[in-house]
Amino acid sequence: MRRLRKKSKVILILSMMLFLFLFIKQVLQTPFSVKLSTPLNKMNSFAIVEKYSTQIHSELKKYGLEDQTLTLIAVMQQESRGKGGDPMQASESAGLAPNTITDPNESIEYGVKHFQRIMKYGNEKAVDFSTIIQSYNMGIGYIDYVANSGGKHTEELAKQFSALQVEKNPELYDCGGNEENFRYPYCYGDFSYSDKVEKILDTLTKSTPAIAIEEKPDEAL
């Protein structure tokens, strides 16, 4: 009887050991996965505009404004995320209908030219840099408006200027008839444009690694 009990006990122990062995083997063969809070291959949100950085830099250099390269990259990011044939959304500043420009090279050329014009005029009128950025979206007239209202951009001034333009052409500037649009009833331009661009610019400035800008050597005379 004792032998039978001892034998049963041995069988039980062996069975448990076999079960434990099989369990460990199964665990080791099962792929180990952990849900990451941040994907390892996080998409670079500036990936598309990055490819235009050297061209933007070169175009700005024609006007001695190459130090504003990151500013124009931020503008492009806000305008289009670098997508489409007119990534700088420069058609209207060139006196054309929206999205007339279909060549990114031409878009950058006119976008930089527009920025150079408002930068020069803004400095002449002694307005702050936020006003200049806002004027890329609202036009050079916004510089005059701010210059006559203290010289510093505020969202309230942008709304006031927008309201004046809407009053002149309410059928055109109606936010597509969508009263749920965050801009409504200030449907001329985007009163929050400067703030958005400056936030992007701050992110670009702090980003690591920074967007690489390939400096092309000047051609020998």
pLDDT digit string, tens, across residues 9-63: 666 666 677 666 666 666 555 443 333 333 433 346 888 999 999 999 999 999 9
**For 75-124, what is each residue's pLDDT tens digit?**
999 999 999 999 999 998 888 888 899 999 999 999 999 999 999 999 99
Q: Chain-wide mean pLDDT for the chain?
A: 85
pTM of this structure? 0.76
User: Quick one: pLDDT band at residue 126, thresholds 50, 70, 90?
Assistant: very high
Mean pLDDT of 202-210: 76
Q: How far apart are CA 87 and CA 80, in angstroms?
A: 5
Task: Provide, rounded to the nearest whole percent, the portion of the chain with pLDDT above 90.
Answer: 67
Q: In this structure, are residues 52 and 104 in contact, taking their beta carbons and an 8 Å threshold? A: yes
CB 191 within 8 A of CB 183: yes
Residue 209's pLDDT is 56
Q: Return the number of other C-beta atoms located less than 10 Å from residue 145's C-beta.
A: 19
C-alpha closest to that of 128 among 51, 194, 215, 37:
194
State residue 45's pLDDT score: 80
* Degrees, nearest 5: CA angle 171-100-97: 25
